[in-house]
Amino acid sequence: MKMDVLDLPAVELAEKIRAGEVTAMEALQAVLDSIDEKEEIYHCYITVDRDGAMRKAEAVQKKIESGQLCGRLAGVPAAVKDNICTRGILTTCASRMLGNFIPPYSAEAVLRMEKAGMVIIGKTNMDEFAMGSTTETSAYGETKNPWDIGRVPGGSSGGSAAAVAAKECFAALGSDTGGSIRQPAAFCGVVGIKPTYGTVSRHGLVAYGSSLDQIGPIGKDVTDCAALLEVIASYDKKDSTSIKRDDTDFMDALSEDVKGMKIGIPIDYFGDGLDDGVKDAVLKAAEALKEKGAIVEGFYLSLVEYAIPAYYTIASAEASSNLERFDGIKYGYRTPECGGLHDMYKKTRSEGFGPEVKRRIMLGSFVLSSGYYDAYYLKALKVKALIKKAFDDAFARYDVILGPTAPAAAPVLGASLSDPVRMYLGDIYTVAVNLAGLPAISLPCGRDVEGMPVGLQMIGDCFQEKKIIRAAYAYEKARGPFAAPGLLTSAADGKN
Amino acid sequence: MANIVDDEMIEYVGILAKLELSGKEKEQAKADMGKMLDYIDKLQELDTSGVEAMSHVFGVKNVFREDVVTNGDRREDILKNAPEEKNGMFMVPRTFL
């Protein structure tokens, strides 16, 4: 019975819990057993809170039985990326710098999940401070892709995406600054949504690029992601960029009706550097939507190649400012030996941060420094305005923009970090969405020649999550069930 | 045009970023930053005259609230994460040498 439970999507599991067919404790136990079996191989988690989760599952079960909790995800065990604060549970950001940090409060998104009766299992692995595209910059070891343990799960929310794919949780929170939910979802064959900026409170999310960061759901299918997004979307006074919305009933958008929906495919997304397998799978998905009555056509989005340089300038600048708070005084790591206050700052930060984080802090400090501010930072903000304008023009004509999530499927472990610029190029289809504050979804649309999952990205105009959810749901139904990876259950299996 | 990041510039950035790099890290940082600046220079190809810099996509203005305390006294909770504390306060190393 246990294995059956693990195969269920989150929304169906919650239905069974409400119907009394499964208890929240049984669902959690199935996940904990799955973690025991596979975690040694995949390493999706940094922290698993077994006892705390079981206590919560028991409390939730009682409330479900007494009718106090009846939400669509009540009783569902879920994971949270380790840059999202959880009261009383270690939150490391996959950095040595926060290796001992136990938050005295929970992020608003986590509070919303708990209020909805979801059971937090633990904290997932990620690139250090969410800076990376492979989860290899984690200070706590790399996560393996459940489809092929010789490959990366993507990043930075690689642990969350891999945990969903490996059935080590039913759904998870990720965060997306430049593609960190969508790209790992694509690489692991699961679904992820980056919401419109301001839709989910950033309170309690350890800041990287504040103008770009959004928390979002990663799940087995579009329905699960819509349900989880509905749970976590909220206006929050504690986040001054939070936006009041009254259209966050995202599950209402789960309809297959795409008749007359206008879908634009940026022709400039299909140039050099795009893998043939990815291209074919994405165009086939577009064809499937056309058959369901959508109007699909190609157009030139323009400025595509300027998104990455603008993004890395802005994200690094904000990171250099945000990460100044790690000074060895209030929380986190402090160097054991130092001469005085300033020496302590420098040593603490040099020892606490890994290479990719230092690289971005330095670039950010440089582009913000006097003499270079106008040429780099201000220039990037102007290019951001141009990119936003290009999207505005596109959304005047189309409901949804469709394309690949990443130019290729998951690379092999160890292949990306040696050349940062090359790694950044993998973000070409995702970063512009963050610059323009738009919502986007990634869902699996096939496999490449090596059998690795390919991600389809659909981008909507600001506040138009419902359109991309509808298009994604319609495509998902047309596609049919997406095969799960053949999971290993012992390290020895991996060597065969 | 290739950007040459020299010792002086890396030294300066290190001060701004409050990072102390080893000799080897410095050489690596010089090469990496040069490469990244070459890449970012691509932005200079675009004519942005007359374009206003965009910091917030929705043009949200400052959000103000009354200065009223809403949380309770959490001093002990907060200090639990301090690397060093003394008498209910954060402890720092000597500030003057």
> What are the structural domain ranges in chain B?
7-45
Contact between A310 and B82 using a beta-carbon 8 Å cutoff: no
Best probe of the A interface among B3, B19, B42, B66, by most A CBs < 10 A, is B19
**Which residues in chain A touch residue B16, judged by CB atoms under 8 angstroms apart?**
320, 365-366, 369
Contact between B82 and A329 using a beta-carbon 8 Å cutoff: yes
Nearest chain A residue to B34, by CA: A363
**Which residues in chain A touch residue B60, judged by CB atoms under 8 angstroms apart?**
198, 240-241, 243
Q: Is A255 on the interface with B (CB under 8 A)?
A: no
**Are A173 and A130 spatial neighbours (Cβ–Cβ below 8 Å)?**
no
Shortest Cα distance from A352 to chain B (angstroms)? Answer: 10
**Amino acid symbol at A66:** S
Q: Give the ipTM of the model, two decimals please.
A: 0.95
Provide the residue range defining the domain that includes A418: 2-255+405-495
Contact between A243 and B56 using a beta-carbon 8 Å cutoff: no
Nearest chain A residue to B39, by CA: A309
Of A331, A346, A420, the CB nearest to B20: A346
Residues of chain A where predicted confidence (pLDDT) is lower than 50: 1-3, 495-496
Instruction: Note which residues in 462-481 of chain A have CB less than 8 A from chain B.
Output: 462
Please write the tens of the pLDDT for every residue from A256-282. 999 999 999 999 999 888 999 999 999
- pLDDT at residue number B59: 76
As a whole number of angstroms, the distance between CA B62 and CA B64 comes to 6
Tell me how far CA of residue A333 lies from CA of A129, A156, A491, in angstroms.
14, 22, 33
Q: What is the mean pLDDT of residues B14-41?
A: 93
Contact between A361 and B19 using a beta-carbon 8 Å cutoff: yes
Tell me how far CA of residue B15 lies from CA of A224, B21, B28, in angstroms.
47, 10, 17
For chain B, the residue count is 97
User: Per mean pLDDT, which range of A200-209, B53-62, B73-82 is the poorest?
Assistant: B53-62
As a whole number of angstroms, the distance between CA A485 and CA A40 comes to 17
Q: Which domain CATH number covers A480?
A: 3.90.1300.10
List active site positions of A. Answer: 81, 156, 180
Nearest chain A residue to B47, by CA: A383
**Are A454 and B50 spatial neighbours (Cβ–Cβ below 8 Å)?**
no
- pLDDT at residue number B62: 84
Instruction: Note which residues in 100-139 of chain A have CB less than 8 A from chain B.
Output: 100-102, 104
Question: Percent of chain A beyond pLDDT 90?
Answer: 93
Return the closest-CA partner of residue A402 out of A274, A285, A271, A259. A285
- pLDDT at residue number A496: 38
Contact between A362 and B94 using a beta-carbon 8 Å cutoff: no
Q: Residue A437 domain-assigned? A: yes
Contact between A330 and B13 using a beta-carbon 8 Å cutoff: no
Contact between B43 and A240 using a beta-carbon 8 Å cutoff: no
Pairing between β-strand A400-404 and β-strand A262-266 as defined by DSSP bridges = parallel
- pLDDT at residue number B97: 62
Number of domains observed in the structure of chain A: 1
As a whole number of angstroms, the distance between CA A122 and CA A51 comes to 11
- Residue B1 clears pLDDT 60, i.e. is over it: no
Please write the tens of the pLDDT for every residue from B4-16. 899 999 999 999 9
- Can you name the CATH fold of B7-45? Histone, subunit A (1.10.20)
For chain A, the residue count is 496
As a whole number of angstroms, the distance between CA A176 and CA A182 comes to 8
**Are A461 and A438 spatial neighbours (Cβ–Cβ below 8 Å)?**
yes
Of A306, A378, A424, the CB nearest to B53: A378
Nearest chain A residue to B43, by CA: A306
